[in-house]
Amino acid sequence: MNFNTTPPLPVQKSELDQVMAHLFKSAEFLQMALPKLRDSDFDAQLERPHKLLWTIIERYHKTYGSLLPAEHIIPEVEKCIFNSVEFASRSVQDAIYHLAKYMVSYPVSSLNLSSTARILERFMFQRRVYSGFVMLAEAGLVSPENVKILGQESQETLVVQSTTSNPFECDMLGLRPKIRTGVSFVDELLNGGARAGEAYGFLAPTGGGKTTLANQIGISFARQKKHFVVFSYEQPTDNEYMVPVYACATGINRDRISAITTMQDLSEAEQRKFAEARKDLAAYLHYKDMSGTHSLAGSGGLEEIEAALVQFRDAKTPVSAFVIDWFWPMMQRRYTQEPTSRNQPNERIYAIKLVDELRQVCGRHNCWCWVNHQSAPATVSKSRKATWTDAAEVKGWSWYLTGCFALNDINEETCQATINFSKARNTKKAHRVIKLLGDIATFVDVSTAVSYNRRTSTYENKAKPGEVPDAGQVRL
């Protein structure tokens, strides 16, 4: 027999409430439940609120392909129960509103995701398999054919299954391919490119070029005909935000772009550059405004990022890489229902959990991500070399990243800096000397011509040791 006939433990109301909260807040959990959970699994009388909310969640996802926003749940409930005979009872309405508010406030985390999935499995097994077996037994209809049907039904209720594999069972190594970013010094430090399923961090001080480099990677990536998404938490993706993006994509001076309002203000040569950039990038470079007012449900958490990735996948345009600009606001919103102030000791736990969840998202969607974060002010003020442990708000958040870049030795006169890459628990580091062409918001690798003298804390021409390179017409 393929299923357990031992009476399952009854699912308590509090446990079912927990399941509903995960269905409402976790894109991963919802994706697991959608093909398995049915309206008929809910008791028509005792679980009417849960059945109604599941119907609303399922319908919204079918229509929009994403999680139901928090501010929509109460209006959707009111729409369903208004003038409804089934929900005319005041006690039933109160129960529905109570459950809806519980779903909004319940803190969902990866630590209870697996246990909630087991509750859902137990719930469905109890309603379909065990109750079906009891009915067959009472009717005297237990037969190999009917038991086989119930066994298949048992397999369909499984939501989470862990797998064990032997890495040497096949000829393939099982590694996901590396994808070149198109930015030479980044690919050089990554030994050929970023690997799908991984998450990489980038630490730099305020104004150090975190967003600039993220945009440059996105533009280079999109030119390879691969879909790239920038999730911006720092500022809205309109007005001034797009000026350096246009400058990097077209090579037109950013001051020139900032001074115009329409394409007709550009020269014919400049218009051709914009047309070429639009042809190369329009279909592949995407920006998602997560800065607050434009964010779905105003949360901007990891669930919304995965919901966006699901939308791209369903549209047959799977995302190959994405940027989170920057980490701290996303963490604050991800755990908005729990205390995460800088004085709270649990913020490091939240950060590690979020990075771990982020890598899981990359694995599920076979893409990689780039996470911007600010260097600690103490590191910048002491002019000390930043490493992957020097995040501004949360120490050690990058332990769970595949690796972390850090910008150091910034010289504002020559617009030069060193960028190094290291892995957690690994002291081996590699670095390149880069220069910011501020007028076109682009970093270039100058390692072949320039070196950094750590004894004198200056940059020198390799061809003429001791001579400081010319600053040129650039700015940081």
**Per-residue pLDDT reduced to its tens digit, 96-141:** 777 777 777 776 665 577 778 888 888 888 877 777 777 777 777 7
pLDDT at 296 over 50: no
Cα–Cα distance for residue pair 121/249, rounded to 1 Å: 50
pLDDT at 337 over 50: no
pLDDT at 445 over 50: yes
Cα–Cα distance for residue pair 236/239, rounded to 1 Å: 8
pLDDT at 380 over 60: no
DSSP run (H or E) holding 81: helix 70-81
**What local confidence, expressed as pLDDT, does residue 229 receive?**
94
Under the banding of pLDDT at 50, 70 and 90, the label for residue 339 is very low
How do residues 244-295 score in pLDDT, each as one tens digit? 999 999 999 999 988 888 888 888 999 999 999 998 898 999 998 887 644 4
Under the banding of pLDDT at 50, 70 and 90, the label for residue 431 is confident
How do residues 151-172 score in pLDDT, each as one tens digit? 777 766 777 655 555 666 655 5
Helices (H) then strands (E): counts for the chain = 17, 13
Cα–Cα distance for residue pair 42/202, rounded to 1 Å: 47
Fold (topology level) of 178-461: Rossmann fold (3.40.50)
Instruction: Name residues whose C-beta falls within 8 Å of residue 102's C-beta, 6 or more positions apart in sequence.
Output: 17, 21
Please tell me which residue, 428 or 267, carries the higher pLDDT value.
267
**Is the distance from CB of 294 to CB of 302 less than 8 angstroms?**
no
pLDDT at 475 over 50: no
Instruction: Write the DSSP assignment of 304-324 as a string of letters.
Output: HHHHHHHHHHHTT--EEEEEE
Which of 366, 375, 425, 370 has its CA nearest to residue 395?
375
pLDDT at 142 over 50: yes
Cα–Cα distance for residue pair 161/154, rounded to 1 Å: 13
Question: What is the reported pTM?
Answer: 0.64
Kindly provide the b/e burial profile for residues 236-253, where b requires at least 16 CB atoms within 10 angstroms of the residue's own CB: bbeeebebbbbbbbbebe
> Tokens at residue 329, please?
């606001």
How do residues 299-327 score in pLDDT, each as one tens digit? 556 777 888 898 898 888 999 999 998 88
> Tokens at residue 114, please?
């697996």
> Tokens at residue 184, please?
């030479």
**What local confidence, expressed as pLDDT, does residue 473 receive?**
35
Residue owning tokens 């699912």: 11
pLDDT at 50 over 70: yes
- Helices (H), ranges, 82-183: 90-105, 113-124, 131-139, 144-156
CA distances from residue 31 to 38, 57, 62, 80 in whole angstroms, order as listed:
14, 12, 11, 24
**What local confidence, expressed as pLDDT, does residue 409 receive?**
80
pLDDT at 381 over 60: no
Please tell me which residue, 222 or 69, carries the higher pLDDT value.
222
Phi, psi of 221 (to 5 degrees): -70, -45
Average model confidence (pLDDT) across the chain: 77
**What local confidence, expressed as pLDDT, does residue 421 receive?**
82
The yes/no answer on whether domain 13-156 falls in CATH 1.10.860 is yes
How do residues 194-227 score in pLDDT, each as one tens digit? 988 889 988 888 888 889 999 999 999 999 999 9
How many CA atoms are closer than 13 Å to the CA of 120, on its beta-carbon side? 29
> Tokens at residue 24, please?
């409402």
Domain residue extents for the chain:
13-156, 178-461
